[in-house]
Amino acid sequence: MDNGKPIRESRDIDVPVVARHFYHHVGWAQLMDAELADMAPVGVVGQITPWNFPLLMIAWKVAPALAMGNTVILKPASYTRLTALAFAEIVRDVGLPPGVVNVVTGSSRIGQAMVTHPGIDKIAFTGSTEVGRWIREAAAGSGKRLSLELGGKSPFIVFEDADLDSAIEGIVDAIWFNQGEVCCAGSRLLVQESIADRFLDRLRARMEKLRVGDALDKGVDIGAIVSPGQKETIQRYIDIGVAEGATLWQPSCPLPENGYFLRPTLLTNVEPASTVAQDEIFGPVLVSMTFRDPAEAVALANNTRFGLAASVWSENINLALHVAKQIKAGTLWINCTNRFDGNSGFGGYRESGYGREGGYEGLFEYVQPAWQVHKPKASRKKAEPSSNGAEPPATAANGNGAAGWPPIDRTPKMYIGGKQVRPDQGYVRPVLGPNGANGAEAPLVGQVAEGNRKDIRNAVEAAHKAAGWADRTAHNRAQVIYYIAENLAARADEFARRIVQMTGCPIEDARAEVEAAVSRLFSYGAWADKFEGRVHETDFDGLVLATHEPVGVVGIACPDEMPLLGFISLVAPAIAVGNTVVAVPPSRTRSAPPICTRCSTPLTCPAA
């Protein structure tokens, strides 16, 4: 009644999956003390749900939040407030303590107030990419946890050896389920050239049998669009597709005289870069393209800024798995589509958001390490300059280091692309130690290159070129990390002296930091080939393989506390699982203003 979806879908899909989610997470509530012993609830969770699945999205968010011991403030979409208020009646009737679940209805201003409220510890949002982008910006720096499930433009790939009849029914479920108002709708049909004409003919014949009409009619396949504004948006995209050269086809099914109804739509001869192939339409519109071989299928599937879901159809399971692994999407279905279960995590990346809902993976969106609940402030005692055990720091501007080291001219450089490179702007920053005894001037420890935007750009390009690091075996990545650990251990005294010179801590603390960094490297090397996925059993006929994938290029800003251990603790786990890294050392390490390498004067020199 809220959003126009057919009652058959609500009865046979939405409500059973809602019940499944609550039952599944009740089990995790029972097991939390044993299986998540070192975790604690996040606290107060603000949840913003969309209008396309008004009850199912409530279950996806509320069930794990309550199971992990959080309290909830729920803001439903403006179009579907009645469903949320009906759910609130159930909450009241079952005797949940007052204040555990709170439902606040209103316009987008309510959602904005939730995102910016200092008393909310986490925001869970499902909706458009544009709003998700704003939420991320608004919450930046607030310490709020975020999980965002945003838009999609999911590929539906059909190979020539697929069961075509099953694939036809699959595409009907993928794009015309819920009027196509589904974030993971299979809205991009990719068909192998050898079967494209035959497949599309069968698809058109099947579309002729789809019924559009009153959502309360159990025989209706496609109900009403949620609002006149959404209907106008969908029609505008159809017109744009035709204007850009696509061929429009719609069945001859009658439409009700009253209401916001659209016929299921097929656009063929679509270019990969066209608007309808790139933008999320969020309606019953399917765009079709062809491919020649698996490599082209993968390229077309990944030619999108989204990454929510994909569906691969082939009777050759080896081919299906090979292709599925290469598609950049959070959920991959093989010979099925739109299968959801409480024991199966769901979510995407790129502009489809981040975080997971459902399954074991989704629990971690609503817990935090127990030690973070009362996080102690890191501190380090500083020793007297005469008793810290470090070698006297160098005083020459060439950064030769401690006394006794070889007199090598160490030109300050950065490490980019596997080699040392000079900074683009030609500036270096002197690194100073702590103040000396009796107020003496801080000694010069060394010099580091002063980077700029071009240096970051070069580093990001180098990190993308090194993407093959993820394709190496986990055993090989572990070997490399072990080798780094061994080299750090061999130079432990050198690194300990440097830490003392920069921070003024006792030499014992510096040695302990180096030892902890070495141990942590060995630990992350050990985890490289043991950080495995999981196999989930679901209530539908199939298994879910939840596998880990590297994020890609990770930007890391290192903390001020413990300069070596902080760096290792952030960089090592990222590279252990196949990511590449652009790291920026601590910015608050004691330093003087940057100087020009050409004239040794501050940034205001004419050479700048």
pLDDT digits (tens, 9 = 90+) for 19-40: 888 888 888 887 888 888 889 9
Tokens for 592, please give them.
């003087």
Provide the pLDDT for residue 427: 82
Q: How far does Cα 328 stand from its chain's mean position?
A: 12
Task: Count other C-beta atoms under 10 Å from residue 251's C-beta.
Answer: 16
> What does the pLDDT look like over 40-56, one tens digit per residue?
999 999 999 998 899 99
Provide the pLDDT for residue 544: 79
Q: Alpha-carbon distance 348 to 371, whole Å? A: 29
* Confidence class for position 412, pLDDT limits 50, 70, 90: confident
pLDDT at 100 over 70: yes
Helices 56-67 + 15-35 axis angle, to 10: 10
User: What φ, ψ does residue 28 adopt, rounded to 5°?
Assistant: -70, -30
> What's the longest Cα–Cα distance across the chain?
91
Tokens for 299, please give them.
């390229």
pLDDT at 389 over 70: no
> What does the pLDDT look like over 574-586, one tens digit per residue?
999 999 999 998 7
Provide the pLDDT for residue 532: 73
Looking only at the bridges linking them, the beta strands covering 44-48 and 71-75 are: parallel
Provide the pLDDT for residue 446: 81
Question: Which parts of 119-274 fold into alpha helices (H)?
Answer: 129-139, 164-175, 196-207, 228-243
> What does the pLDDT look like over 465-491, one tens digit per residue?
998 998 888 888 888 998 899 999 999
- Which residues have a catalytic role annotated? 149, 183
Burial class (CB in 10 A: 0-12, 13-18, 19+), 293: exposed
Burial class (CB in 10 A: 0-12, 13-18, 19+), 468: exposed
Tokens for 417, please give them.
């692309």
> What does the pLDDT look like over 354-379, one tens digit per residue?
899 988 888 999 999 988 876 554 55
User: What φ, ψ does residue 458 adopt, rounded to 5°?
Assistant: -65, -40
Tokens for 323, please give them.
């292709």
> What does the pLDDT look like over 160-183, one tens digit per residue?
999 999 999 999 999 999 998 989
> What does the pLDDT look like over 438-462, one tens digit per residue?
556 778 888 888 889 999 999 999 9
Summary count for the chain: helices (H), strands (E): 18, 24
Burial class (CB in 10 A: 0-12, 13-18, 19+), 138: middle
Q: What is the CA radius of gyration of the chain?
A: 29
Q: Alpha-carbon distance 36 to 21, whole Å? A: 19
Provide the pLDDT for residue 46: 94
Contact 152, 184 (CB under 8 A): yes
Average pLDDT, the chain: 86
Tokens for 85, please give them.
């208020």
Q: Alpha-carbon distance 351 to 399, whole Å? A: 44
Which residue is associated with the tokens 């433009």? Answer: 153
Helices 56-67 + 81-93 axis angle, to 10: 40
Which residue is associated with the tokens 């006792």? Answer: 506
- 287 SS3 class: strand
Task: Tally the C-alpha atoms within 13 A of residue 315's C-alpha that lie toward its C-beta.
Answer: 7
pLDDT at 329 over 70: yes
Q: Per residue, what are the HEC states of 95-110?
A: CCCCCCEEECCCCHHH
Look at residues 524, 521, 525, 528 and name the one whose alpha carbon lies nearest to residue 548. Answer: 528
Q: Average pLDDT for residues 530-536, to the nearest whole number?
A: 76
Percentage of the chain lying above the pLDDT 70 cut: 88
* Confidence class for position 249, pLDDT limits 50, 70, 90: very high
